[in-house]
Amino acid sequence: MTQPSVRTWLTLYCLAHAGGSAQSYGRLEAVVPPGVRVVPLELPGHGTRLRESLLGEMEQVVTEAVRLLRQDREEQGGGDGHDRPFALFGHSFGALVAYETARRLRQAGATVELLLVSGRVSPAWPPPHEPLHMLPDPLFTAELSRMGGIPDALLSAPTVLQLFLPSVRADLRMLETYAHRHTEPLDVPVAAFAGLEDALTHTDGMKAWSELTSEAFDLALLPGGHFFLDQPQFREVFADRLARIAPSSVRAATDG
Q: Which CATH number fits the domain that encloses residue 220?
A: 3.40.50.1820
How open is the CA angle 216-113-86, to the nearest 5 degrees?
155
Instruction: Identify each DSSP E strand in the chain by its residue range.
Output: 10-15, 36-40, 86-91, 115-118, 190-195, 217-222
Average pLDDT, integer, range 43-55: 95
Contact 130/139 with Cβ under 8 angstroms? no
Which has the higher per-residue pLDDT, 158 or 100? 100
Cα 193 from Cα 160, distance rounded (Å): 29
Report if residue 136 sits inside a domain: no
Cα 45 from Cα 124, distance rounded (Å): 27
Report if residue 213 sits inside a domain: yes
Predicted confidence band of residue 40 (pLDDT cuts 50, 70, 90):
very high
Report if residue 139 sits inside a domain: no
**pLDDT beyond 50 at 1:** no
Number of alpha carbons in the 13 Å side-chain half-sphere of residue 64: 20
Which pTM does this prediction carry? 0.91
Average pLDDT, integer, range 117-124: 97
Report if residue 164 sits inside a domain: no
Report if residue 230 sits inside a domain: yes
**pLDDT beyond 60 at 253:** no
pLDDT for 252 equals 56
- Which DSSP state fits 240? H
**pLDDT beyond 90 at 142:** no
Q: Write the CB contacts of 80 (distance below 8 Å, at least 6 apart in sequence).
A: 70, 73, 105, 108, 109, 110, 111
Dump pLDDT digits (tens) for 195-250.
999 989 999 999 999 999 999 999 999 999 998 988 999 999 999 999 999 987 67
- Which DSSP state fits 142? H
Dump pLDDT digits (tens) for 152-199.
777 777 787 888 889 999 999 999 999 999 999 999 999 999 999 998
Contact 93/172 with Cβ under 8 angstroms? yes
The amino acid occupying position 180 is H
Q: Which of 10-14, 102-106, 138-142 bottoms out in mean pLDDT, i.e. has the lowest?
A: 138-142
| Overall domain count for the chain | 1
**pLDDT beyond 90 at 105:** yes
Contact 165/141 with Cβ under 8 angstroms? yes
pLDDT for 104 equals 98
Report if residue 49 sits inside a domain: yes
Q: Write the CB contacts of 221 (distance below 8 Å, at least 6 apart in sequence).
A: 194, 196, 203, 206
What order of strands is seen across the sheet that includes strand 115-118?
Answer: 36-40, 10-15, 86-91, 115-118, 190-195, 217-222
Q: How far is CA 104 from CA 45, 69, 158, 175, 206, in A?
A: 22, 12, 37, 18, 22
Q: Show which residues are catalytic.
A: 92, 226
Report if residue 149 sits inside a domain: no
pLDDT for 233 equals 95
Pairing of strands 36-40, 10-15: parallel
pLDDT for 255 equals 60
Cα 169 from Cα 17, distance rounded (Å): 12
**pLDDT beyond 70 at 32:** yes
Cα 101 from Cα 118, distance rounded (Å): 15
Q: Which of 53-62, 77-86, 150-159 bottoms out in mean pLDDT, i.e. has the lowest?
A: 77-86
Q: Which of 51-55, 79-83, 124-128, 252-256 bottoms out in mean pLDDT, i.e. has the lowest?
A: 79-83
Cα 251 from Cα 256, distance rounded (Å): 8
- Residue-range definition of the domain harbouring residue 33: 10-126+180-255
pLDDT for 82 equals 47
**pLDDT beyond 80 at 119:** yes
How open is the CA angle 91-97-99, to the nearest 5 degrees?
90
Report if residue 140 sits inside a domain: no
